[in-house]
Amino acid sequence: MAKQMGLMGLGCFIFMMVALQINGASATTYVVGDSLGWTVPPNTSFYTEWSSSKTFHIGDKVLFNWTGNHNVAEVSSLAEYENCVNPGIVIGSPVTANLLENGSRFFICTVDDHCEAGQKVIITVGSPTNTSSTASPAPSPSSASSLSFGVIFTVLSSVVAYFFA
């Protein structure tokens, strides 16, 4: 009976680890603007509508991809976003932003009047709690692969320990 309960507990533990692994491995890469890409949009609400149709999660990535004379810059506040304030640091194509925490991030194009024409987007993960805070630091490498290894190692160790106990 005790061994049967132990086996059931092990089964529950393995199920939970697999569920965590599946959740951790479900990161999505979004191409900003989908097929339009990152360019001067057909209307000023295009990127607002695009981002509001997505549900971003921690671990997801947003890819800014363009051709022609564009760039991408991350500004630190909603006011800077709304006023198209050039932060002085811009990046060439392609750019991938890793979404590492809840909150809002603000991206604009600083070429000519592109921002004023609507080439700007707010990416919000979770609730928009940091709309007035400074921008997130530069993205760090994803820890998804170490999570995968850790989960697999834990499950295998538990199975081995169970059979030798």
Give the least confident one: 1-15, 33-47, 141-155. Answer: 141-155
Residue 121 covered by a domain: yes
Give the least confident one: 80-89, 114-123, 140-149. Answer: 140-149
Alpha-carbon Rg for the chain, nearest whole angstrom, is 21
Residue 151 covered by a domain: no
Residue 153 covered by a domain: no
Is residue 39 within 8 Å of residue 119, measured between CB atoms? yes
Residue 41 covered by a domain: yes
Residue 117 covered by a domain: yes
Q: The sheet that has 120-125: what strands, in order across it?
A: 73-75, 103-108, 120-125
Q: How many domains does the chain have?
A: 1
Residue 115 covered by a domain: yes
Which element (helix H / strand E) includes 48? Answer: helix 46-52
Q: What is the pLDDT of residue 20?
A: 42
85-131 pLDDT per residue, tens: 999 888 877 899 999 999 999 999 999 999 999 999 999 998 655 44
Q: Give the CATH number of the domain where residue 84 resides.
A: 2.60.40.420
Q: How many CB atoms lie within 10 A of CB 98?
A: 18
Using CA atoms, how far apart are residues 38 and 31, in angstroms rounded to an integer?
A: 9
pTM for the whole structure? 0.64
Residue 70 covered by a domain: yes
Give the least confident one: 23-27, 33-37, 76-80, 98-102. Answer: 23-27
Domain that holds residue 67: 27-140
Residue 148 covered by a domain: no
